[in-house]
Structures are given as C-alpha cells and as structure tokens.
Amino acid sequence: MTPAVLDVVDIVYNYPAVSSPTLAGLNLRIAAGESVAIVGPSGSGKSTLLRLCGLLDHPETGEIRLVGERVTYSPERRRSRLRATTIGFVFQDFQLLRDRDALGNVLLGAMYHPTLARREASQRSRELLDQVGLSHRVGAVPGKLSGGEQQRVAIVRALVGDPALLICDEPTGNLDTSTAKEIRDVLRDLCSNRGMALLLATHDPATWSSVDRIYDLHDGRLHVHKPDAC
C-alpha cells in the first residue's frame, strides 16, 4: 500500500497550565493528492495541530509519519531537512520578513532546500507570483502590501520548494471573494495535477467544498464535519 503523505496517530498535546489537553488522541491520514480542511471554534486547537504536522513542535505522545517515515522524534537536523523539502507551511499571521520584498520573501522558502538551485528557485518564484496575480508586486516589501497580497506571498513561499504536503492556517482569511476563489483553485490544481496533499484550517467551511474531507476539531479530536452543526 502506498504510504500516506501524512499519518497522525493518537497524538496528545497539552499546553502548560491549560487544564485539559488541546489535542487528546487525535488521528488523521492524508494521501497524495488529497485535501483536508479542519474547522472549529477559535481556541479549539487548529493551529496547534498544524504546527505539529509541520514539525514545528512535538506531541507529548503519539506519532507523526511523513511519507511513511516516523518523524516525531527524529533528530532536529532530519526534521529541518523535511521542513525544507517535503512541507510547505503558511502561517496564520504570514510571518514575512519586513525588510525583504515579495520575491525575496518567496526565495526564503527555497533557502534551505538542498537541491533547488537559486536560478531555478527564482524562476519558479516569479511564475508562482504571476499565477496568484502578483507579478507587478515582486519588488514591494510587506509593509507596502495589502493583507491579501501578503497572504498570497506567504502561500507562494510555501509552494516554491514543491512540497509533498502543504499546510495552510486560514489561507483565505484575509482575501476578497474573487482572490480567495483564485487561491482555492490554485491549491486544488496543485493537489490534482502534482499529487500534493493539502491540510488547512479555516473558519469558513462553506467556501471549501472543493476539498476531499472536512473535519470539526473539538474536545481535542477530529469529527466528520456536518454543515448544520457549524
């Protein structure tokens, strides 16, 4: 059987001084080409789950497998390499560097990639920026970009290394209706054409009917989303 791109098994995560676990034995499996949206009220743990899946933090117990490899307790050097080559991460607050222009920020996504040459990365960055309607803004620093433009730069930065798994925290939260649709279309095409797996958090499940599965996160676990319950 082909391994899932992401396999999350029984993970538990507690923040210090928080009485009940934020994630309480959570399971999730995403195959190549599949897309999954996580919904849930503010504070339910969506960003926490995404950070763990992005190897930015460790669960207390349980396991995370990436393309069949058990990575939960891998050495930090190995986890860094996987973050550079296999995972693209779009933060809820973008985390763009203020002193670099859009292109410079996107190129950061390729900086630690072991095989992507700078020239190739630069060409790919420009193509992707063009694809999301930002070819005229490549030289603008984040302070001169709208929230929606910054969000698109953050998405392109995550895509430049051609990740097997793209993780997006509220990827269309700051976008107008038509740009949000364009971003959803770009992400959908990446899943179907390149076999990329997509994991995203959203407050707006109604607009994500294009994904394969939607789960509600509550009580630290995932439940199949029922539109009426939201």
- Provide the minimum distance between the beta carbon of 59 and ligand ATP in the complex, in angstroms, as a whole number: 13
E-strand spans in 47-86? 61-66, 69-70
Return the closest-CA partner of residue 12 out of 27, 28, 29, 24.
Answer: 24
- State how far the Cα of 210 lies from the Cα of 203, in Å rounded to an integer: 15
Q: Applying CB under 5 A, does 48 fall inside the site for Mg ion?
A: no
DSSP 43-81: TSSHHHHHHHHTTSS--SEEEEEETTEE-TTS-HHHHHH
84 and 108 Cβ atoms separated by less than 8 Å? no
Helices (H) and strands (E) in the chain, counts: 6, 10
| Interactions with ligand ATP, residue window 41-70 (CB under 6 A) | 42-48
| Interactions with ligand ATP, residue window 91-120 (CB under 6 A) | 92
- Provide the minimum distance between the beta carbon of 98 and ligand ATP in the complex, in angstroms, as a whole number: 22
Which of 6, 7, 40, 165 is in the footprint of ligand ATP by CB under 6 A?
40
| Interactions with ligand ATP, residue window 76-95 (CB under 6 A) | 92
Which is it for strands 6-13 and 23-30: parallel, antiparallel or unpaired?
A: antiparallel
| Interactions with ligand ATP, residue window 2-21 (CB under 6 A) | 15, 18
Q: Hey, how many other C-beta atoms are within 10 angstroms of the C-beta on 192?
A: 12
Which of 47, 86, 105, 202 is in the footprint of Mg ion by CB under 5 A?
47
- Provide the minimum distance between the beta carbon of 27 and ligand ATP in the complex, in angstroms, as a whole number: 17
> Helices 147-159 and 177-194, interaxial angle, to 10°?
10
Q: Applying CB under 5 A, does 22 fall inside the site for Mg ion?
A: no
Amino acid residing at 205 = P
Q: Applying CB under 5 A, does 44 fall inside the site for Mg ion?
A: no
Output 8 or 103, the one with its CB closest to ligand ATP: 8
Output 34 or 170, the one with its CB closest to Mg ion: 170
Q: Applying CB under 6 A, does 1 fall inside the site for ligand ATP?
A: no
- Binding residues (CB under 5 A) for Mg ion: these are 46-47
- Contacting positions for ligand ATP (CB under 6 A): 15, 18, 22, 40, 42-48, 92
